[in-house]
Structure 1
Amino acid sequence: MIEKYSIRTDLALEQKERFESDNVEVQGVVLEESYDEEREIRITTVKIETEKGAKTMGKPVGTYITMEAPNMAVPDEGYHEEVSKELMKFLQRFLDKDKKDYSVLVVGLGNRMVTPDALGPYVADNLNITRHIVKEYGKYAMGEEEVHLVSSIVPGVMAQTGMETVEIIRGVVKETEPDIIIAVDALAARSSKRLNRTIQIADTGINPGSGVGNHRNAITEETVGVPVIAIGVPTVVDAATIVNDTMENLIAALETSETLRGVGVVMQGYNAAEKYELVKELISPHLNGMFVTPKDIDETVKRISFTISEALNMLFA
């Protein structure tokens, strides 16, 4: 029953919530939560520790850190600076503290021509790139004792290049030999309230396009040869999800209506996944493959991309 229904989301947190709503305990998956009241940032860490847990969750074994910051959608520079600092701290967890000079390749995934998918390219635009300077003049040209080599690439999408993204990255890794890859991509969410307000960091790599059903080859340590940290922000939500949430509100309203209460009781007999599947059937074929994004997505994506690039610039300064 669990495997039959899959709610479309890239967030490990939402996968875990889905099972909790159905009162299903996932073996081998640990959840840790904390809340910073001052900054209004909720941190949720999902650790998938076993292969069985990975199979149930539909995600690889590893650590998934989710930062939920409702005010991230607001153009407040001071707040975004706080988010950048928090993001930098969590990224540090995945780095070797004893290593002094990191060579890092930042990969901006996505299509620059499609605004909700342009997060990765925009992040790459705002990075402090140093590899070419250090290679040419030495690290002392930067005026520092310790200098990280930062390079970036925006590989585009298959429709533009005719190549799998992982093939391009393998070639770059072979030539430049980075110690680590940081891949930045736009994600799909299950909940519209998390759009442009959530950042997920994972040490498991990334599957470009998986959230919108456009599965491409994974970018992981196994496929490219170096560790891959993934940073993602949900920018789109499945149309079926919006209709499903509307239906949930309708059921709640029906409960208060004397004449229509019976309809609400019938619908309450469905679990969350069954309701979602019913909605998909009701709206197909016209809305079934549709994804929705907020109307101010162009300015929001630019702002959030700057927040992420600032975290990376501070981390590798």
Structure 2
Amino acid sequence: MIEKYSIRTDLALEQKERFESDNVEVQGVVLEEDYDEEREIKVTTVKIETENGAKTMGKPVGTYITMEAPNMAVPDEDYHQEISNELAKFLERFIKSDKEEYSVLVVGLGNRKVTPDALGPYVVDNLNITRHIIREYGRYAMGEDAVNLISAIVPGVMGQTGMETVEIIKGIVKETKPDIIIAIDALAARSSRRLNRTIQIADTGINPGSGVGNHRNAITKETVGVPVIAIGVPTVVDAATIVNDTMENLIAALESSETLRGVGVVMQGYNAAEKYELVKELISPHLNGLFVTPKDIDETVKRISFTISEALNLLFSKGHAHIKENSVI
């Protein structure tokens, strides 16, 4: 049943949780957790170390850092600044460049016309783009002794361009020769409580559209020729997930009912995988392919995109030595 149980999530953390709930230990996968009580930020690192672990998890070998911050959905500027600082710190770990100045291509994946999928384009809108200024006037035009060359692209989606995103990026890489690519995309989550409250960073690249079952060619070091760091925020959740969570609450309610307690006992006999498969079979075919997003997604996506762009601007500026000093996690 485990093999047939295909959970709709882009978060490595949720894949690991799925196996833990079924008491299945995944060899070659290491989980580390850290929690900052003051800021209410939980950081989970999933390290997939072996090919066997990668096959079981359905994700490439690499490191996946997940920041969970329940208050990220709240319009608190000071709190979002703290998130930006933490995010910059974790991104700095992934950038393995021996150059004092490096060239970065930021790719804003997604469809600007579909709000839950507009995270990537919105992040690019708020970036400090420097490559053209430095190439034209030199690094001193930025008022600093050393600056990183930042360029960005919003490649759109295949329905708009007729091209695979990876084809566009390979052409840009060939011409501009960046040292690193940072790709930002909207993700799908298994848990509705993680919507717009979670940021995942991975050093493995990204599969655009994978969370909603629209698999496109991967953007990885192997396909484009340079290291790819992926940043994602879950903005949608599968309809089957919502029904499944509702069923869990129903089972809990049935346990407290004298007349219906027997039904709850029967349902408790199903493991997580079996419950999920049952839900997918029971809900209408029209609902099975449905993805849901919160009603305030417009302002939320704009707010979170600004938080991510601020983290990138902080990281790329040469005055980012204070990131570690201000960080407590």
User: Scaled by the length of structure 2, what TM-score is found?
Assistant: 0.95
- Offset at residue 6 of structure 1 (A): 1.1
In 1: Cα distance, 2:220 partner to 2:274 partner: 33
In 2: Cα distance, 1:95 partner to 1:235 partner: 26
In 1: Cα distance, 2:51 partner to 2:221 partner: 17
Aligned partner of 2:241: which letter? T
In the TM superposition, what are the counterparts of 1:16-165 in structure 2 within 5 Å? Answer: 16-96=16-96, 98-165=98-165
In 2: Cα distance, 1:37 partner to 1:164 partner: 43
- Offset at residue 95 of structure 1 (A): 1.3
Measured against aligned partners, the alpha-carbon deviations of 1:180-210 in whole angstroms (never above 9, x if no partner) come to 0000000000000000000000000000000
In 2: Cα distance, 1:174 partner to 1:204 partner: 20
Q: What is the aligned length? A: 317
- Offset at residue 165 of structure 1 (A): 0.2
In 2: Cα distance, 1:175 partner to 1:2 partner: 45
For 1:184, the equivalent position in structure 2 comes to: 184
- Offset at residue 275 of structure 1 (A): 0.4
In the TM superposition, what are the counterparts of 1:208-227 in structure 2 within 5 Å? Answer: 208-227=208-227
SS class of match (1:193):
helix
In 1: Cα distance, 2:95 partner to 2:121 partner: 23
In 1: Cα distance, 2:278 partner to 2:41 partner: 34
In 1: Cα distance, 2:183 partner to 2:98 partner: 23
In 2: Cα distance, 1:3 partner to 1:132 partner: 49
For 1:233, the equivalent position in structure 2 comes to: 233
- Offset at residue 96 of structure 1 (A): 2.7
Measured against aligned partners, the alpha-carbon deviations of 1:135-175 in whole angstroms (never above 9, x if no partner) come to 11111111211110000000000000000000000000000
Aligned partner of 1:24: which letter? V
For 1:259, the equivalent position in structure 2 comes to: 259
Aligned partner of 1:305: which letter? S
In the TM superposition, what are the counterparts of 1:196-215 in structure 2 within 5 Å? Answer: 196-215=196-215
In 2: Cα distance, 1:163 partner to 1:286 partner: 29
In 2: Cα distance, 1:286 partner to 1:314 partner: 44
- Offset at residue 126 of structure 1 (A): 0.2
SS class of match (1:287):
helix
- Offset at residue 287 of structure 1 (A): 0.3
SS class of match (1:83):
helix
Measured against aligned partners, the alpha-carbon deviations of 1:10-49 in whole angstroms (never above 9, x if no partner) come to 0000000000000000000000000011111000000000
- Offset at residue 97 of structure 1 (A): 6.0
- Offset at residue 284 of structure 1 (A): 3.0
Identical-residue share of aligned pairs (%): 89
Measured against aligned partners, the alpha-carbon deviations of 1:25-79 in whole angstroms (never above 9, x if no partner) come to 0000000000011111000000000000000000000000000000000000000
The answer on 1:193 being equivalent to 2:193 is yes
Measured against aligned partners, the alpha-carbon deviations of 1:238-269 in whole angstroms (never above 9, x if no partner) come to 00000000000000111111111111111111
SS class of match (1:295):
coil
Select between 267-276 and 91-100 the one with higher mean Cα deviation: 91-100
User: Scaled by the length of structure 1, what TM-score is found?
Assistant: 0.99
SS class of match (1:46):
strand
Select between 25-34 and 88-97 the one with higher mean Cα deviation: 88-97
SS class of match (1:257):
coil
In 2: Cα distance, 1:276 partner to 1:104 partner: 41
In 2: Cα distance, 1:284 partner to 1:223 partner: 39
Aligned partner of 1:251: which letter? I
SS class of match (1:170):
helix
- Offset at residue 297 of structure 1 (A): 0.1
For 2:304, the equivalent position in structure 1 comes to: 304
In 2: Cα distance, 1:219 partner to 1:264 partner: 45
Aligned partner of 1:106: which letter? V
Select between 229-238 and 258-267 the one with higher mean Cα deviation: 258-267
The answer on 1:13 being equivalent to 2:13 is yes
Aligned partner of 1:177: which letter? K
For 1:247, the equivalent position in structure 2 comes to: 247
Aligned partner of 1:92: which letter? E
SS class of match (1:93):
helix
The answer on 1:168 being equivalent to 2:151 is no
Unmatched 5+ residue regions in structure 2?
318-329
In 2: Cα distance, 1:14 partner to 1:59 partner: 12
In 2: Cα distance, 1:219 partner to 1:180 partner: 12
For 1:288, the equivalent position in structure 2 comes to: 288
In 2: Cα distance, 1:274 partner to 1:40 partner: 33
Unmatched 5+ residue regions in structure 1?
none
